[in-house]
Amino acid sequence: MARTFGEMGIREIQTGLAAKEFSAAEVARGTFERIGEADGAVHAFLETTEELALDAAARIDAAVAEGRLAEMGPLAGVPVGYKDNLNLTGTHTTCSSNMLRDYVSPYTATCVEKTLRAGALPIGKLNMDEFAFGGSTETSAFGPTFNPWDVERVPGGSSGGSAAAVAAGFVPVSLGSDTGGSIRQPGSFCGLVAVKPTYGVVSRYGVVAFGSSLDQVGPFARSVEDAALALNALSGRDELDCTSQPCDVDFTANLAEGARGMKIGIVPAFMEAAGLAPEVRAKVEEAAAVLQDMGAELVEVELPHAQAAMSAYYVLGPCEAFSNLARFDSVRYGYCDPGHKDLASQYEASRAKGFGPEARRRIMLGSYLLSAGVYDKYYYPAQQVRTLITRDYAAAFEKVDVILSPVAPTTAFKIGEICDPTEMYLADMFTISINIAGNGGLSFPVGLGADTGLPVGVQIIAPPFKDKNMFRAAAALEQHYGPAPVAPDFADGKVGA
Ligand SMILES: NC(=O)C[C@H](N)C(=O)O
């Protein structure tokens, strides 16, 4: 079967549009056709948005007819999918929860709006762990997403649908959100370039909040250039989010510079961490050697407080989630259990039925941790740990341009394999400290693990607002490893053909 549009990269689509080899309407229709044929095996999409995509395509086609394609923006004619915690007017934004099963967005998130203004074709909303709590996309109220590399395995989470849609070749670009690893870990499990920018690079307006001081939106793509182009479209100051920052960086600017002269930090404690699979460790060492061969210098750095990141996150994250999720009270928002005589029992029943077990666990934990007497013992010290971790990174980045580390301790595990929540939390052991400190992290796919034969990512961590450093190092690795392939069973339209 022929190459599908979703398998193409941004440049390939735009070159084809400019040369009139195909129209944007054909790109949109072809994309939905492919999703219709093959998403049954993956379950990446919760909703597709044919009408919106065809409207956007008509605008692109009109511009092509007038020779104005270049004016239509960096994502002109490119199919893009959105995690289902990003609002898009007129579509459901369920956060994969029964609580929001019927919620239809009355407004559009700034990050989504920016992709639309950059010419993207909006393809639909993607499955996720409920309210972004999880590392496997198994907690979705609508059933799990399957990893296109092995459909018996998880795609990672919480942005599992976003990762799977790109890995299966349904779309070249998708957006996810990352609070503790939720872009980078599924990026690693599905073999993609997956970017958690520095906190503040992308506006959070219209993103259903989990941990407001940790959440950040970023792109999934199969090449470093596509991820950089997508971030160019997403980034920048937004008056509607006071934590967003001005950003006039072109993330594609130094992709061709190579690694020569870069200083790459290696954290010995990460490489020795208990639970790190030998095949993942071997891949990180291999990537370090590749960069060294290209003329980069490897420098050991210490992050002495990073081992406390997990404990701090499971205090700060639930506390922020507890307060953010208070709005789903069955009156202002969310599922309302019928037939209750008083408000207290309506609240209780609606929240008990609307939220799944992991969401309830986080809410209860947050409520306990913020209660009088307990607050001082946990929340306050967790904030102090946060400062120490931030200082550790600042000290390390005085010596190096980026830090190279594992993304996740293992490759993708089987659906249903991890039932203990604390074991699931460990999937984020290398990603969480970056959200805590606020700097950027990128997962780059370095091929398949020697033991499991599944994709492995390495994490490239950048100093705050120097995200371009991680793009440069990732582009250098891409010279060696090549861009990420579509998962073999799905490449060239195999599944569903
Ligand atoms: N949203 C995230 O980054 C998720 C992280 N795995 C968590 O469960 O909190």
Q: Is the C-beta atom of 135 inside 6 A of ligand 1? A: yes
Distance between Cα 407 and ligand 1 center (Å): 13
Residue 83 a catalytic site member: yes
* Per-residue pLDDT tens listing for the chain (497 residues): 578 999 999 999 999 999 999 999 999 999 999 999 999 999 999 999 999 999 999 999 999 999 999 999 999 999 999 999 999 999 999 999 999 999 999 999 999 999 999 999 999 999 999 999 999 999 999 999 999 999 999 999 999 999 999 999 999 999 999 999 999 999 999 999 999 999 999 999 999 999 999 999 999 999 999 999 999 999 999 999 999 999 989 999 999 999 999 999 999 999 999 999 999 999 999 999 999 999 999 999 999 999 999 999 999 999 999 999 999 999 988 999 999 999 999 999 999 999 999 999 999 999 999 999 999 999 999 999 999 999 999 999 999 999 999 999 999 999 999 999 989 998 899 999 999 999 999 999 999 999 999 999 999 999 999 999 999 999 999 999 999 999 999 998 888 76
Q: So what's the ipTM on this one?
A: 0.96
427 alpha carbon to ligand 1 midpoint, in Å? 9
Spacing, Cα 215 to ligand 1 middle (Å): 9
- Give distance in angstroms: CA of 22 to centre of ligand 1: 40
Q: What is the SS3 assignment for the chain?
A: CCCCHHHCCHHHHHHHHHCCCCCHHHHHHHHHHHHHHHHHHCCCEEEECHHHHHHHHHHHHHHHHCCCHHHHCCCCCCEEEEECCECCCCCECCCCCHHHCCCECCCCCHHHHHHHHCCCEEEEEECCCHHHCCCCCCCCCCCCCCECCECCECCCCCCHHHHHHHHCCCCCEEEEEECCCCCHHHHHHCCCEEEECCCCCECCCCECCCCCCCCEEEEEECCHHHHHHHHHHHECCECCECCCCCCCCCCCCCCCCCCCCCEEEECHHHHCCCCCCHHHHHHHHHHHHHHHHCCCEEEECCCCCHHHHHHHHHHHHHHHHHHHHHHCCCCCCCCCCCCCCCHHHHHHHHHHHHCCHHHHHHHHHHHHHCCCCCHHHHHHHHHHHHHHHHHHHHHHCCCCCEEEEECCCCCCCECCCCCCHHHHHHHHCCCHHHHHHCCEEEEEEEEECCCCCCEEEEEEEECCCCHHHHHHHHHHHHHHHCCCCCCCCCHHHCCCC
Ligand 1 within 6 A of CB of 428 = yes
Active site residue 158: yes
Ligand 1 pocket member 249 (CB < 6 A): no
Our answer on whether the CB atom of 131 is closer than 6 Å to any ligand 1 atom is: no
Query: Among 97, 210, 213, 418, which is best to mutate for testing ligand 1, by the most ligand atoms less than 8 A from CB?
Result: 210
Of 129, 204, 215, 313, best ligand 1 pocket probe by most atoms within 8 Å of the beta carbon = 129
Catalytic residue among 83, 114, 196, 468: 83
